Amino acid sequence: MRPDPDAHTRELAAKATTDPTGWFEELYAEAADGRATVPWDRGVPAALLAEWARDLDGTGKRAMVVGCGLGRDSEFIASLGFDTVAFDVSATAIATTKARHPDSRVDYVTADLLDLPGDWRHAFDLVVEDMTVQSLPDPPRAQAIANIPPLVGPGGTLLVVAAANLTGAATDGPPWPLVRAEIDAFATDGLRAANVECVPDATDPAINRWRAEFRRPS
């Protein structure tokens, strides 16, 4: 009998505490062969991002999508006119995304949030972080948070979408929903919090999500 791909995904995710970023490559590689499933492969952008960004005109602006996975948010951001770069630590995720979107305008790059290229510093008008940090234990989670704000350029915006831990109780991730102090930690490197909301998930009101916007003064 063929093994259950969802069960195999749970086995791979169990490695997250010992191999915080490495297990993602295994997951995407096995998913490409049908042996695992990618739970966040939804084909549509995150609802909280789509609602927030729907009237943006990205013409003449640069955007960066952090931990882009299979490209659902980056394709949406590029459709708004942004000159978009998107990266993920998994080379297979990037290859799969490029194969799915052969005519994409997005520049897809394999890169590690914990070791970013220097020329991305202060280079983007819009930076989107959707569910990357929540997928990491600590360490390296605090370092991952600290490495995102320096991507935002002068006058630029960072949007963070993440599951919320409102009680502070220990959770058995991944994912590890973010507590408020972790959201507040994005206000570093000169960024200021512009709006922080916590909203119930549209499909499961038992889950709360942060949508937090930070800006760098011009």
Ligand X SMILES: C[S@@+](CC[C@H](N)C(=O)[O-])C[C@H]1O[C@@H](n2cnc3c(N)ncnc32)[C@H](O)[C@@H]1O
Contact 121, 151 (CB under 8 A): yes
Q: Which of 72, 141, 209, 216 binds ligand X (CB under 6 A)?
A: 72
114 binds ligand X (CB under 6 A): yes
Q: Using CB under 6 A, which of the segments 52-60, 85-93, 150-158, 182-190 binds ligand X?
A: 85-93
How far, in Å, CA of 79 to CA of 44, rounded? Answer: 12
CB of 128 to ligand X, least distance (A): 8
177 binds ligand X (CB under 6 A): no
Range 191-198 contact pairs with CB under 8 angstroms and sequence separation of 24 or more: 191/149, 191/152, 191/158, 191/215, 191/216, 192/216, 192/217, 194/157, 198/164, 198/166
C-alpha 173: how far from chain center: 16
Helix runs in 87-212, H state only? 91-100, 141-147, 180-184
CB of 213 to ligand X, least distance (A): 17
Q: Using CB under 6 A, which of the segments 7-15, 66-74, 97-105, 177-185 binds ligand X?
A: 66-74
Q: Using CB under 6 A, which of the segments 50-58, 86-94, 97-105, 164-172 binds ligand X?
A: 86-94
Q: Is 41 exposed, middle or buried (0-12, 13-18, 19+ CB in 10 A)?
A: middle
Residues of span 126-165 touching ligand X by CB under 6 A = 130-132, 135-136
How far, in Å, CA of 33 to CA of 127, rounded? Answer: 31
40 binds ligand X (CB under 6 A): yes
Q: Using CB under 6 A, which of the segments 107-115, 180-188, 195-203, 210-218 binds ligand X?
A: 107-115
Q: At 44, list the tokens.
A: 């549509």
Give the footprint of ligand X on this chain (CB under 6 A).
21, 24, 40, 46, 67-69, 72-73, 88-90, 93, 112-114, 130-132, 135-136
